[in-house]
Structure 1
Amino acid sequence: MMTAETATPVPTGVRTGLYALVQHFYARQMQALDDGRFEEYAATFTEDGTFQHTPGTEPARTRPGIVAELNRFHEKFADDPVRRRHYFNQLVLDPQPDGSYRSTVYALIVRIRPGERPEVWPSCVVHDVLVVDGDEVATRSRTVSYDHLPDAV
């Protein structure tokens, strides 16, 4: 049994205010995505940001490229009343030498269709590089890995 005397603290290297700022950033970012406000979602990325949400595909590059990719992806659901809610949890921020932060987040996506029970699909890990300037946060890159795939990272 570990006691307070034998426990080794885990260094976080991240101040509490920054952690809360990033959580708030993710909440606004995911609500924009879930509500289909793709331009607003893309605006949370740096101008040259990259976004890869489907393993094995080339990432979308730049804000207009991210909007185009999201529109393309959601076309297949045009006749499906599905709604999605992205839940980010277990956020870990690691400072990088260039001043950015590597962010690793567990994500559960809940799919909801009218008259049906919500289902969790899929479970993912989101790997971001975040740029923080004062109270402003932007995603420089995002790669999503899926827990159910054999090559999950």
Structure 2
Amino acid sequence: MQDATVPAELYVQVQQFYARQMGLLDDGRPDDWAGTFTEDAVFQEASRLDEPLRGREAIRASSRARQKRLDEQKIDFRHWLGMLDVSRNDDGSLRTRAYALAMRTPRGGALDIFASVVCHDHLVPVNGSWQVRHRDLHHDGSGRD
């Protein structure tokens, strides 16, 4: 069963986790970003991926390829997460729900909001921090929330 609320200290820890995790991705560090997922993680993004990515190495390979494309196209990419909701499971893991904006800016160009999504994560404690065991992204306009 999930608790309806979590203590403020835990909530802030989860916010810091996401700030660091998205910062790794936005700073062009795909290997470090992939390291924030469990070895057996699942990454679902139905509107963009035919099949979920399964395992940290598949997530790493996809992230590396994405970063290579961004570098070649000279695009800066940023993520903003907000409206974070956190609940704790009986086993100590967490379920989170957040809104995310993905923004891209061609170098010397104008900002483009690439996507607005709802992010559902299952976080598990690992060595005093958190890792994502399952991420499910639902793009606005896809008919899912």
- TM-score, structure 2 as length reference: 0.86
- 1:8-87 equivalent positions in 2, closer than 5 A: 12-55=4-47, 57-77=50-70, 79-87=72-80
Deviation larger for 30-39 or 53-62 = 53-62
User: Which structure shows the higher strand fraction?
Assistant: 2
Kept in 2: contact 1:21–1:135 (CA 8 A): no
Gaps in structure 1 of 5+ consecutive residues: 1-10
* 1:129 to partner: Cα distance: 0.2
Higher Rg: 1
* 1:135 to partner: Cα distance: 3.6
Identify the residue that residue 7 of structure 1 maps to in structure 2. none
* 1:133 to partner: Cα distance: 5.0
Matched, 1:144 2:133: no
- TM-score, structure 1 as length reference: 0.82
Q: Count residues with an aligned counterpart.
A: 142
State the SS of the aligned residue for 2:72: coil
Q: Distance in 2 between matches of 1:15 and 1:90?
A: 16
* 1:106 to partner: Cα distance: 0.3
Q: 1:2-22 CA deviation, whole Å, 9 max, x = no partner?
A: xxxxxxxxx842011111101
Ranked by relative contact order (alpha carbons within 8 Å, sequence separation 6 or more), the top structure is 2
CA RMSD of superposed structures (Å)? 2.0
Q: Distance in 2 between matches of 1:141 and 1:152?
A: 17
* 1:148 to partner: Cα distance: 2.5
Q: Distance in 2 between matches of 1:69 and 1:76?
A: 11
State the SS of the aligned residue for 1:57: coil
Paired amino acid for 1:141: H
State the SS of the aligned residue for 1:24: helix
Kept in 1: contact 2:89–2:95 (CA 8 A): yes
Matched, 1:123 2:120: no
Q: Distance in 2 between matches of 1:27 and 1:107?
A: 12
Q: Distance in 1 between matches of 2:130 and 2:139?
A: 25
Q: Distance in 2 between matches of 1:42 and 1:79?
A: 21
Identity across aligned pairs (percent)? 36
